[in-house]
Amino acid sequence: MGITSALVLYAVFWFMTWLIVLPIRVQTQGDLGQIVPGTHAGAPEHHHLKKKAWITTGVAFVLWAIAVVVITSGWISVRDFDWFNRMG
């Protein structure tokens, strides 16, 4: 695995984890009963983005490290997904 492919794999893990972590513990204006005129009641009031970014970075790194070990060790290869025996 090259450096570029490792960075792309980490970016994929990071953004997928970010999309999972983002809606956790969001307090909306409607939940708090303090709706600002002109905004939607579902607009976030307390979103904790910095904390979520750190959590995302840590979780994504662990998942990425596991994936890198599996890929570089050869436990799973492309030939394992050749269900129709086209690679010969």
Query: Helix (H, G, I), strand (E, B), or coil: what is residue 36?
Result: coil
Any domain includes 88: no
Tell me how far apart the alpha carbons of residues 45 and 33 are, in angstroms, rounded to a whole number: 10
Sign of CA dihedral 66, 67, 73, 79: positive
Any domain includes 87: no
Cβ atoms within 10 A of the Cβ of 16, count? 13
The pLDDT of residue 54: 96
pTM equals: 0.76
Number of domains in the chain: 1
Tell me how far apart the alpha carbons of residues 55 and 67 are, in angstroms, rounded to a whole number: 18
Q: Which domain holds residue 24?
A: 3-81
Tell me how far apart the alpha carbons of residues 47 and 80 are, in angstroms, rounded to a whole number: 42
Q: How confident is the model at residue 86 (pLDDT cuts 50, 70, 90)?
A: confident
